[in-house]
Amino acid sequence: MSSVKKVLLLGSGGREHAIAWKLSQSLKVDTVYVAPGNGGTALEETKIINVDLSITNGETISEWCHQQQISMVVVGPEAPLKDGIVDFLQCQQLLCFGPSKAAARIEWDKCYAKQLMQKCNIPTANWKSFTQLREAFDYIESLKAPQYVIKANGLAAGKGVTVCQCQEIAKAAIFDILINNKFGEKKVIIEEYLEGDEISVLAFCDGKNASMMPIAHDYKRLQDGDVGPNTGGMGAFAPYKKISHEDALFIRNEIIIKIVALLKELGDPYVGVLYAGIMLTKDGPKVLEFNCRFGDPEAQVILRLLKNDIYDIMVDCINQGLNHSMIQWYPDSMVGVVLASNGYPGPSEAGFPIYGINQAVKVAGVKIFHAATTVEEVECCVKILTKKGRVMTITAKGRNLQLASLIAYRAVRLISFNGMICRKDIGDDLLPDSSRLQSLTYKESGVDIEAGNDLVETIKSMVKTTARPGCNEEIGGFSVSLNYYDAGYQYPSIIVTTDGVGTKLMISQEMNYHDTIGIDLVAMSVNDLLARGAEAIAFLDYISYSALDRNIIEKILAGIVCGCNLAGCSLVGGESAQMPGLYSVGKYDLAGFAVGLVERSYDLPKIELVVPGDQLIGIASSGIHSNGFSLIRRIVQHNQLNYGMPCPFFVKARHNQKDSLSLGHALLHPTKIYCKSLLPILRSSLVKAYAHITGGGLVDNVSRILPKHCKAVIDARSWEMQDVFRWISSKGNICADEMMRTFNCGIGAVIICDGKHYTSLIKMLASSREDYWPIGTVERYELGDGKVEIHHLEEVLRHQNNHMVVETTSTLSPPKFRLAVFISGSGTNLQAIIDYTKMEKSRAEVVLVISNVDNVAGLQRAKRCNIEHLVINHKDYVTREEFEHELQKTLTGKAIDLICLAGFMRILTPQFVNRWKGKLINIHPSLLPSFPGHKAVLQAIRAGVKVTGCTVHFVEAEVDSGPIIAQESVPILPQDTEQTLSERIKVVEHRCYSYAIHLIITDQVKYVNGRLLWQ
């Protein structure tokens, strides 16, 4: 059979859209055909295709499946199951997921289901069935109960149950079934009314085993508050958490397992999804009904919680191998809200355009599953139209039920169509009661507008000192205008930047020293403007806080004013956002926005002009600047230091008075602003490119100004590095690779110039009052090279300045960790790992590279680095076990300590993973647990989230699971495609993987019994 799997799914509802969506996530499934499908499945962009097949014509389906080489047929709705579609297709040698006609009888014959329950003592409501009207009426009249439940015996699309408050309504329902033949079978069940919470229990079944899914709660009635007629379901949520552990065990053992065992005993093994509608009464769980398929809308919420590959589960069910599956579920809550057409559940309207879907799907956590929709193309424009009945289900994921419900209804409010109806209370019955607020003023809620206005008036005189030509309006208005002509420009480009100060703020707040943090805020944005050769013209600030002393705000603003004066730009406005409850009292956050101008002829960088032989000139930083403070704070905490202690390193900028300066004040030394000193140089036509060294250190920022065919080679011995960086490296045991990717290491900016202009540029720099050094050259980039290579950094960091006090010990070097790297392609992460192991402080070495594909670039990387490499091609082995046996034999012979999967495109069996548990790591291009599996980058873009990234984790049997070692985030930009976002994620993957390996080999993190132990 072909390794590329094609699946045919029968059905057209929201349930089928959810099943198709989940099947499309399988790495083993190439195409999911849906017959006939709906508007939603027609619009899915990956793998899912609608086909025009009658789901009741077995012969047509069989012929089509054989022609298309279908690997498996999945039956969604109950009607084809009743007609025996599974039996027929199995006779045609087709793999089919769903129960046989005999097993499916448990739904389409409710009297039969009741008899089965009685036979194996499954608790259910008392009942009787009738085919004669008079007998049914007599029985109703004999009952003294206040309420009655009337059920049609056969299939009724979820609408065959009537809960009656009086005998008259009950008789009318009986009349509809027995006389009017409303549901196609003249047989009625009169059942005892049960009170309690109704739940939906679904389970995967393989004929002898059963695995329960998260318990769901659905909403059968049409209107809020559970009133109105019964429907197929107006919404659902999962998991249902009010059930006791004892009741859950009872349901599994005494209901689900019992009924599966009985059907097997009767010769009708149940294969597929079994659904039990259960009432949690005061006497315990009682079964209301069994269904022979996924519930709708339960499937829409439950399947979004499933971690596993559903194709594997279905195959295991068919092959009676469910006991080998470790089915796992996400811990989140999921809410689904059904939108229906006016008139439902009776005759309803159709053909109306649906608006707002594109906006709704962008809400984070939302996925929409279509049901009664169709797609119409009008003048090259695709319109989604309603059909009759339930139109779609809006599902939303949240960390709890309340959040999931809020997100779902946020999306619901964005969608509209003529006659749209939905319930507004999905999930409400498990949410905590809200107490009514008494009348409050805005000031009593924590926001003092008058104080804010007063502050603006106070700082106006201070802000006026920053006024400049082209930008001299008074603050306090709605906006400000910039006049580029008055600023001295003719045809400028407008450059805009934004940044913050990061966790340097936390040290400022702990020290209660706020005088210079505003300078940092300005510096981070205006220095970025220089990368385009732009002059800083205007700056705006944003300060957010809960409750903050006015004196602190004035100090922050004074620092911002100082920064604007240093940059030569005007402070034109800002926002002080008081948000009670969002921040702790005394805590705040800052953001800055800078506007710059540059004549188009001076616009930088001129990357296309950068060529091998160009010179790199480094401009001195004033210290740490404003990046890497999360790591610095960790170092201070780990070494049990405090910010008030005397500074342990020499600070040149403070006139050599180390002992009079505290550690905290030294760390808070403000970021240097280069605008006035460097702008004339950047506009001299001698400069090809300029990089501001911020987050990502020298490596990430210098690489931004290099063309693809070039690399930068830098010598760390060529400049004077401040002692603070040696102190950080020493106290934090931080390797050179991590230092250069996190900190500026003494270089605040880098300029690229032509070698023939080098002397002229040096003369200009000599008059700039900036410290500078020639630090390297541009060279030709070869496959496998690092984009920025920094030599001798480890040596420089180890060289201790006389001003530092360092504890030294003499120890033997521990043996190096032996790494094996599995690849399938270019091996860019392999190169990052190799580069890390070549760092002088690294305790790791790559001793083996294995590829399952021949002639890939990663093998050439290993060859150039003299690393043993070989190909173990999985296609050369009959079974996966034989392939992995060869892997195991090779690894054992090399005494491997750690296996790193670096783009290895084979799923390893649980046996292999368990053998190497705690010694096998992988990197995945998302912030797990979000977007596991295939096409993670595309998943993130389609989900509408704003941030994704990469995750390094220990590997466990379940795909993309296992304890997380390290993560790094990457923002998703509005214009991002799968390719552009993937490229940016790759950049951080290289850094993140090396960091994770460093944590492991330095014993900072250990894998213990499936959990991480952090030292």
At 458-495, the pLDDT tens digits run 566 777 888 888 886 666 667 788 888 888 898 999 99
Q: Are 32 and 24 in contact (CB under 8 A)?
A: yes
Amino acid 1010: pLDDT? 80
Return the SS3 of 556: helix
Written as six digits, the tokens of 231 are: 């429907």
Amino acid 581: pLDDT? 67
Amino acid at the residue 229: P
Q: What residues have CB less than 8 Å from 764, skipping those under 6 apart? A: 680, 681, 684, 686
- C-alpha span between 712 and 700 (Å, rounded): 11
Among candidate residues 217, 869, 924, 953, the one labeled active-site is: 924
Written as six digits, the tokens of 271 are: 């294969």
Q: How far is the first Cα of the chain from the last one, in angstroms, to the nearest whole number?
A: 50
Q: What pTM was computed for the model?
A: 0.48
Cα distances (Å, whole numbers) of residue 1009 to 634, 914, 957, 961: 26, 12, 14, 14
Amino acid at the residue 147: Q
Alpha helices by DSSP H, 433-575: 449-464, 504-511, 517-530, 550-567
Taking Cα atoms as reference points, which of 297, 133, 333 lies closest to residue 218?
Answer: 297
Amino acid 496: pLDDT? 95
The position carrying tokens 């994704």 is: 948
Strand partners, 618: 750, 773
Per-residue model confidence as pLDDT tens digits over 127-184: 898 988 888 888 888 887 778 888 888 887 666 788 887 878 888 888 888 888 888 7
Amino acid 431: pLDDT? 57
Say whether 869 is catalytic: no
Amino acid 646: pLDDT? 82
- Which residues of the chain are under the pLDDT cut of 50? 1-2, 433-447, 449, 653-659, 800-813
DSSP 783-796: TT--SEEEESHHHH
- C-alpha span between 95 and 74 (Å, rounded): 9
Question: Cβ-count burial of 481 within 10 angstroms (0-12 exposed, 13-18 middle, 19+ buried)?
Answer: exposed
Question: Cβ-count burial of 396 within 10 angstroms (0-12 exposed, 13-18 middle, 19+ buried)?
Answer: buried
Size of the chain in residues: 1015
Half-sphere exposure of 503 (CA within 13 A, CB side): 8
Strand intervals (E) in 682-738? 687-692, 710-715
- C-alpha span between 897 and 916 (Å, rounded): 9
Return the SS3 of 410: helix
b/e map of 885-915 (b: 16 or more CB within 10 Å)? eebeeebeeeebbbbbbbbbeeebeeebbee
Amino acid 648: pLDDT? 87
**How many other C-beta atoms lie within 10 A of the C-beta of residue 104?**
30
